[in-house]
Every structure is written in structure tokens, then in C-alpha cells.
Amino acid sequence: MSHKKKGIGMLNLPAVKVAAVQASPVFLDTAATVEKACSLIHEAALNGAQIVAFPEVFVPAYPYWNWIMTPVQGSPWFEKLCLAAIEIPGPEIDRLARAARQNKMYVVIGVNERSRHGIGTIYNTLVFLGPDGELLGKHRKLVPTWAEKLTWASGDGSSLRVFDTSVGKLGGLACGENTNTLARFSLLAQGELLHVASYISLPIGPDSYDMADAIKVRSMAHSFEGKVFTVVSCSTVTEEIAALFEPTCPGISERFQRKHSAFSGVIGPDGRVIGEPLIDDEGIVYADVDFTRCIQPRQMHDIVGHYNRFDIFDLRVNRQTQQPARYYDGPSETRPGAFESVIDPDRGERLVDPDGRE
């Protein structure tokens, strides 16, 4: 009997076609970048994909100026990014959600998310959309990497979540946090089978650093350790983007042209690349994913199951939302143990106390 047939007590693992986009945004043009993303969603759907992954902060730009300018020189660019960043929910997410619904596609896309109550605070955020246009959730990068700390605030553990979808248990992390062993383990421990790793091309890093190889190694490590599939999506840098920084940093355009700076592809649970990846060039990579391939390797190493010692290791993850203020309402607010009602300023929702009162 085929494993794809449903039966009493049987494990139903879907066969899925995935797509990974390797492309550049329309730099700092939010509306145009969103429309480009919608066009790519449609293209992926026409080619039979059920889920498409986009690069880190695809909407609408990566802050390359942090790597090539002083903080003072880069400050005007930070202002441009804050003005071009989006809120979640918001009209840009609505447009992407409509494209997801029209194409019956799961979409994972990186955005610059502006705090709803802090115009100078932005986050590196991965957005997860369902084929019905539903906003499944978002993940804010836990720690901005190196020079990125000049731009983004840190996320919190509330978004370390795996989504139970028709294309498998889906999770994701942004760029350098794919080297964070505990963050990755926290997703694997929730049953993650399909991992999205979003990246940016970084052709201006140290000469000894091969970005394409670094992306591939990180992705292979997660797939091999967790026995999962990883969909890697990386951005590219166009000549037009590089030219924007030339007046402040003469000669920088040549450095931006360094090859082997972007890698996009799909990694199997054995840690090997499936099919042909994309290096540097724009395009979409496709691969067929069969989750039954995740089973046999786990007989050897199931690090969230029998191949671990939970009596020795104890990982605790704080998934409380961090907020700048907590608001106490009602006449009993001064009493010890009074009901605490909290408005999450970035999600715009009212949280309830443990007893379920509103």
C-alpha cells in the first residue's frame, strides 16, 4: 500500500513541489518590490510549486550601507529604510496575501517591519502566508548580525514557531540565525520538516569569506542534523543598487560585483543539494520534496527523539512577547495579583490573563 494513501493510524506525508526565489528587490521602492514579488509568486505557481520562499528583507531592501559607510554617513539611508518599511498587518501584506490566495500558494517572504508605535524601530521579519491568504505568522530575527545592529532591533522568542500546513510542518530563520544552534533546535523540537532559510547576497564582506559556500554549509548542516528539507532563498545585488552608493564610497561598485556571493537551492535530509542550485544569477529554483525521506535517517540520528538525553539537556524557550509597557485597567489595578491586560503594541492585539479573562 502506498504511503500516500490515508488509513487508520497511518502517517500521511505529502509530496510537495517547492520554489526558492533568487532575485533583487526594487531597491527601497516598496510598492514596486511587492509587485515584483507578486509576479514571482504567479510564475512559481504556473510551474507547479505549492510554496515559494523569498530572500531576507526582500521588501524593500537590505542595508548594505552599514558595511561600507560610517554610522553618520549611513544615517540618511537608515531614514529612507524606515520610511519604506511596512507594518504587519498592512496594505503591502494584504497585496501579498491576495497573490498567495489567487495562486493557491504558501509564501514565505522577508520584509523590513516597522514598529507600529516607534517610527525609528524596524525589524528583520519573515512573513508566513497561507494559500487562502491567511497571515499564518511572522518571525523577527532574534539578533541582527554584526553591522546590522545599526539598523534592526532584536526579535523575541514569541515567533519561534512551526506552522502545521498542508505542505508539511513549516518553520524558518533569517540568514545568520541559521547558525544559532538553539534557535534551530527549538524549531526541530516542534516537528519541523520544511525549513526556509532566507539570505542576502553579501559580496562586500571579508575577502576570505565565500558567501555562497557559507550559505550552503549552514543549510546542509541544518538538514543533516535535523533530517529535514531546507529551502534556501537568497537575494542578488544589481549594478543599479551598487551605483547608489558610489557617490559616498567611490569604487564600491567593483566590490559589489564579486562572484559566488549568492546561493539558492533545496537541501535534502541527507544534507545534499537536490537538483541544480542558483549561484549569483536571478531566477527560481524548483524541487520535489518527499517527506518520507526524513524517516530512515532518523533511525540513526533523531536529535529531538531517541538520539538525545533529555534527562541531561534541558532547553527552555521564553516565548513571551516583549513589550515596552504593560497597562493595568480597572478599579482593582492596585491590588496584588490584579488582572493584567496588555496591549501588544506591534501586534495590535489584546492579550488575556491565564484564566482567560479579557
pLDDT digits (tens, 9 = 90+) for 291-312: 999 999 999 999 999 999 999 9
Name all domains of the chain by residue range, CATH numbers in brackets.
15-300 (3.60.110.10)
pLDDT digits (tens, 9 = 90+) for 242-297: 999 999 999 999 999 999 999 999 999 999 999 999 999 999 999 999 999 999 99
- Average pLDDT over every residue of 15-30: 98
Active site residue 56: yes
User: What percentage of residues in the chain have a pLDDT greater than 70?
Assistant: 90
- 187, three cell numbers: 524549531
Amino acid at 58: F
Active site residue 141: yes
Contacts of residue 39, Cβ cutoff 8 Å, sequence gap at least 6 = none
Amino acid 349: pLDDT: 47
Out of 36, 138, 141, 169, the active site residue is: 141
Out of 38, 113, 169, 175, the active site residue is: 175
CA distances (Å), 161 to each of 43, 183, 185, 300, in order?
28, 10, 11, 26
How far apart CA 251 and CA 282 sit, in angstroms, is 24
pLDDT digits (tens, 9 = 90+) for 89-135: 999 999 999 999 999 999 999 999 999 989 999 999 999 999 999 99
Mean pLDDT of the chain: 92
Q: Which of 89, 99, 23, 16 is nearest to 61 (CA)?
A: 23
Judge whether 232 and 265 are in contact, CB under 8 Å: yes
Q: Tell me which of 87 and 323 has the higher pLDDT.
A: 87
318 secondary structure, DSSP code: -
Contacts of residue 144, Cβ cutoff 8 Å, sequence gap at least 6 = 124, 151, 152, 153, 154
Q: Looking at the DSSP assignment, which residues form a beta bridge with residue 279?
A: 263
Q: Is 326 helix (H, G, I), strand (E, B) or coil?
A: coil
Phi, psi at 152, each rounded to 5° = -105, 145
State the pLDDT confidence band at 1, using cuts at 50, 70 and 90: very low
Amino acid 346: pLDDT: 54
Active site residue 5: no
State the pLDDT confidence band at 206, using cuts at 50, 70 and 90: confident
Judge whether 22 and 234 are in contact, CB under 8 Å: yes
Amino acid 331: pLDDT: 66
Out of 36, 56, 113, 227, the active site residue is: 56
DSSP per residue, 252-311? HHHHHT-SS--EEEEE-TTS-EEEEEEESS-EEEEEEEEGGGGTHHHHH--TTTTSS-TT
